[in-house]
Structure 1
């Protein structure tokens, strides 16, 4: 079926553009293509994160993912997509100047795993797979634009297991999606990651509400932080400074030094005037 769309790749860049909108999420239906399934529809999403849902897919769509502001740093961005475990009905390719490279087959999407690629590798070309009954077919995924560093961590599960240097630790406290002081209450081993249950006594920052308050009168928070199984994290006594990133609404561990070690490092850098930012340690 792919060959039938190749001649249209050049045409769609000139004249086939039935839908165009600068937004974060897109929801469409292949039923609007039923009479002209050879059309290739252009979709433009210009946010750091969002979602796509294509009901009853027929024909093909090209999804252009771009940041909402253009800067030299944009060239160093990557795209990560996480298909819904119910996603079906299409194959997903990368389209760079009319040349297609397979990214995800229809059967691969049900795994719900994150896949990342550089923005320089092209747009997403999503092609419907022929089925006798399309009434149950829905292609859906979330996307995020991330730095190349976060892309490397997503593709290399062992990367977060490496000990953080002093400089990395201080920088992550200033730049990560969440920074919290607390203790480990439990470690639950899942199929391909560990879920660390933490109790937070001091919440310095969180990008989204990954830690929930313990109550009106109790000044504490609880939540779960994910880590690759290779890191072999264990529950233990003492306080830690948890830092990390939020990917698709889930917290992933970055640097997690013991709090007393962080304090020693922070105060030492404070005396030397090398701290990248201020942290309230009182």
Structure 2
């Protein structure tokens, strides 16, 4: 009798709730829904149109196919800020939630599936950020396949995503080859000047300490910022009038060490975290900037000391 009540009363109520819950965000950056109303073997088609957002799939059942069609600004789509002059490459990264369970996430590239995130046992470490590139003319989508479980009530497959244009490897973060290649190589003068113009943060400061995280395979650089030229979000803050504090991440394999002196830190914000790009000593930046200014070859102005 109890089982009959569950299927005739509770399941229909859950299905109605599920249909009401399944929705896009107003700006079409994110989607939230559940698999309770999906038919076995069905694939729900989803399309999102932002450079960053999220997906939350409750009670995974069946499959989802997610197409990312971002309305990226022209400045991040191709070199030189020209939407049509660039190579058309887009770098995308997904960051699974620590509680990601109940589904497997695949990259679908020209009809071929590549596993990005598996359905892991709860005892395993949280899944890592995964990145990939889309080349011109390629058809790319994300495919989520629910895995069978007797109890789906505690299963949620959720992740955040970010997309950018041609994304320099040194400004990314995963162990995936698309990100780590060349990430530890020092910047030349041209790269330093371009980083000043295009980075999410440009900060002059000193290294207070470097903390290594073996689990994440990253180094956390604790920075005292004496001047914040630009920052996306409140990365460097504090009550002090002259200095602000912040943290910048880089790959552990780069072997960053504590060093005396003033540096110019540049880089990208990735899922709310600051990741190191070019970081010359401030005097080296001043030299490169002065030479380029004299030759009238500076890509942008910076109010340096």
TM-score range, shorter chain: 0.7 to 0.9
Q: What are the residue-to-residue correspondences of 1:10-25 with 2, within 5 Å?
A: 23-25=28-30
Query: Which segments of 5 or more consecutive residues in structure 2 lack a partner in the other structure?
Result: 1-21, 75-82
Aligned to 2:248: 225
Aligned to 2:196: 173
Give the conservation status (yes or no) of the 8 Å contact 1:183–1:200: yes
Cα shift at 1:269:
0.9
Give the conservation status (yes or no) of the 8 Å contact 1:88–1:110: no
Question: Which is worse superposed, 138-147 or 61-70?
Answer: 61-70
Cα shift at 1:19:
7.2
Relative to its length, the structure with more helix (as a share) is 1
Distance 1:164 1:74, change over 3 A: closer
Residue 274 of structure 1 aligns to a residue in which SS? coil
Distance 1:98 1:240, change over 3 A: closer
Structure 1 residue corresponding to 2:33, chosen from 28, 38, 63: 28
TM-score, structure 2 as length reference: 0.79
Query: RMSD between aligned alpha carbons?
Result: 2.3
Q: What are the residue-to-residue correspondences of 1:1-282 with 2, within 5 Å?
A: 23-33=28-38, 36-68=39-71, 71-72=83-84, 75-96=88-109, 98-107=111-120, 111-119=126-134, 120=138, 122-150=140-168, 153-154=172-173, 155=176, 156-157=179-180, 159-191=182-214, 192-212=217-237, 214-215=238-239, 218-282=241-305
Give the conservation status (yes or no) of the 8 Å contact 2:23–2:33: no
Question: Which is worse superposed, 90-99 or 201-210?
Answer: 90-99
Write out per-residue CA displacement over residues 105-164 of structure 1, whole angstroms, 9 at most, x where no aligned residue. 212995331111233352111010000000110001110002343468443435221010
CA distance in 1, matches of 2:87, 2:231: 24
TM-score, structure 1 as length reference: 0.85
Residue 159 of structure 1 aligns to a residue in which SS? coil
Give the conservation status (yes or no) of the 8 Å contact 1:19–1:41: no
Give the conservation status (yes or no) of the 8 Å contact 2:88–2:165: no
Distance 1:150 1:89, change over 3 A: farther
Residue 183 of structure 2 aligns to a residue in which SS? helix
Give the conservation status (yes or no) of the 8 Å contact 1:182–1:242: yes
Residue-pair matches, total = 261
CA distance in 2, matches of 1:74, 1:50: 24
Give the ranges of 4+ consecutive aligned residues of structure 1 lying more than 6 Å apart after TM superposition.
18-22
CA distance in 2, matches of 1:209, 1:278: 23
Distance 1:148 1:174, change over 3 A: closer
Distance 1:262 1:58, change over 3 A: same
CA distance in 1, matches of 2:31, 2:23: 10
Give the conservation status (yes or no) of the 8 Å contact 2:108–2:114: yes
Cα shift at 1:100:
3.0
Residue 31 of structure 1 aligns to a residue in which SS? coil
Residue 167 of structure 2 aligns to a residue in which SS? helix
Query: Which segments of 5 or more consecutive residues in structure 1 lack a partner in the other structure?
Result: 1-17
